[in-house]
């Protein structure tokens, strides 16, 4: 089952446009908006993203939940 769309998807194109011309950006959104699970995969799809993407999650449960959400979105187990 595909998870429901995330609120962050509404501003994701604007973020990617900003990062095309700048080396950094600040993204502020409430928990559960998709900062971890939607932004990182979107960055990986960009031809200009040639560096590493580091995701930090302070809790093990949050890290596992993020990994499960990204896998489900990508259609992976």
> Residue 18's pLDDT is what?
92
In a domain, 1, yes or no: no
Residue 62 located in a structural domain: yes
Neighbours of 62 (CB within 10 A): 12
- pLDDT attached to residue 17: 94
pTM score: 0.66
pLDDT on residue 73: 84
The reported pLDDT for the residue numbered 14 is: 94
**Is residue 2 a part of any domain in this protein?**
no
Structural domain count, the chain: 1
Tens digit of pLDDT at every position of the chain (77 positions):
677 788 999 999 999 999 999 888 888 888 889 888 888 889 988 998 887 777 766 677 777 888 888 888 888 88
Q: Which of 72, 35, 69, 73 is nearest to 55 (CA)?
A: 35
pLDDT at 27: 84
- The domain in which residue 18 lies consists of 7-74
């Amino acid at each position: 089952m595909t998870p429901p769309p995330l609120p962050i998807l509404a501003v994701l194109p604007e973020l990617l446009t900003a990062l095309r011309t700048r080396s950094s950006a600040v993204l502020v959104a409430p928990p559960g908006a998709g900062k971890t699970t939607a932004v990182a995969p979107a960055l990986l799809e960009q031809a200009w993203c040639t560096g590493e993407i580091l995701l930090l999650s302070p809790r093990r449960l949050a890290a596992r939940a993020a990994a499960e959400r990204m896998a489900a979105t990508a259609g992976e187990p």
